[in-house]
Amino acid sequence: MKLYLIIASFIFVQFSFAQDALTNKSPKVWSLEDCIEYALENNITVKDAALNKSIAEVDYSKAKSSRLPNLYGSASQNFSNGNTIDPITSDYVTDQIHSTNIGLNTSVTLFQGNQINNQIKQNRLLLKQSIFQEEVEKNNIVLNLLETYLQTLYSKESIVIAESNLIASEKEVLRAKARLEAETIALSDYTEAQSQAATNKYNVIAAKNDYQQYIIELKQLLELSPMEDLEIETIDENMDVINLELNRMDIYNKALSSLPEIQSSILNISANEKELDIAKGGFLPALTLTGGLGSGYTSIDNNTFSDQFDVNFNQRIGLSLSIPIFNRNQTKAAVKTATINIEKAQIQKQNTEKEVYKKVETAYQNALSAQEQVIAAEASKEAAQQSYQLAQKKYELGSLSTTDLVISQNTYTNAQQNYLQAKYLNILYHQLLQFYQGNDIKL
């Protein structure tokens, strides 16, 4: 009995250690590359684009199958009474007739104004377009992830700045209290120090809330559960600054050759041109080959069911020519509509090119600005830090008022935030220019 208790206790202890290990397991640290790879596999917008591509594949397969002949089977059982024509013998009789008919029928289009071939070509173009549209959605997710990831890092570093300011202001409150008790400062100086500490505490709470909001946005892009922990990887502080060796037109030309939305708009024009060819095919005649097999049974014939089916077995083959003469101008309207859609597709391509140029130009100009802002903001931050450190020493010696110390601290805080913002904007626009040149986004 004691042995059983010892074994049970051992198993319980091991299970407890295993549970603790699972409970205390640290969350995965996600890099930007991890986020991109996971989102491209799990984001519902990307999945929806993949389903659209699958539909285009089905439509293309269906269009190719339209070249094949169809085949239909038929069977009927009829009863007639009185004066009627026998459906099998075609004799005019006055009687009750039970009849059975079965058959196989087929038809294949030999020519239809080349509409079938043009439809196949159009669906092939639409399939290629859907592939590029899937790439467009993937790129959109990548860019959204890049922006949100950097915003999350920015807000995370803002928490550090806010907490550092809170610690400093709490120390200043203690100093102010001691000086108030020593009657070296007025009560208003002490309350101002308390007010600054309260403001800094509020800033910490706000910064943490902003960080959690961006984490939620990242989880949605990744399609992660709201209950799942998400920790992102920080980036190298010594990243290379933007090197704008290429001019904007070089970047723009590379974007035109690499971005899938440009290729999609080109294919859209070609698909609409095929739609025009399909519409024009409505002016031409259609030739169809038909054929069939059939047999039947009638109750007025004295032969057996099987004998009648053997005797009445028949085969049919024929050609059907349909010549369009007037169809209430439906074909003319389809041709005009297709012509208009070609012009619209061309305009859409021009708009797409304009949008790409606008994005490249904006990213290029912002990159130039951000590069200069980083240098200026870093110098401003260092100067503000030195000024704040000097103000703290003066405050400790009693040669600086609380108001001036608060002003110096706020100036330093603003300088830190400005540098932080410039740093991440610099990274963002550098990555955008890399993206428009067809390069991978990496931090």
- Same domain for 367 and 388, yes or no, is yes
Express each pLDDT in 55-101 by its tens digit. 999 999 999 999 999 999 999 998 888 777 777 777 777 778 888 99
Express each pLDDT in 244-281 by its tens digit. 566 889 999 999 999 999 999 999 999 999 999 999 99
- Residue 245: what pLDDT? 63
Q: What is the mean pLDDT of residues 357-370?
A: 94
The total number of structural domains that make up the chain: 2
- Residue 4: what pLDDT? 46
Q: What is the mean pLDDT of residues 350-354?
A: 97
Taking 70 as the threshold, does the pLDDT of residue 308 lie above it?
A: yes
- 45 Cβ partners below 8 Å, 6+ apart? 137, 140, 141
* 29-30 and 231-232 strand pairing: parallel
- Same domain for 407 and 296, yes or no, is no
Question: What is the percent of the chain where pLDDT is above 90?
Answer: 73
- 255 Cβ partners below 8 Å, 6+ apart? 262, 356, 359, 360, 436, 437, 438
Does residue 290 sit in helix, strand or coil?
Answer: strand
- Same domain for 189 and 319, yes or no, is no
Express each pLDDT in 276-290 by its tens digit. 999 999 999 999 999
Q: What is the mean pLDDT of residues 1-27?
A: 47
- Same domain for 258 and 296, yes or no, is no
- Same domain for 62 and 188, yes or no, is yes
Read off the pTM: 0.85
CB-based burial label for 258 (10 Å; 0-12, 13-18, 19+): middle
The whole-angstrom separation of Cα 259 and Cα 252 is: 10
- Residue 81: what pLDDT? 82
- Residue 307: what pLDDT? 86
The answer as to whether 12 is a domain residue is no
Cross-strand pairs, 93:
84
| Domain that residue 220 falls in | 30-68+113-284+327-436
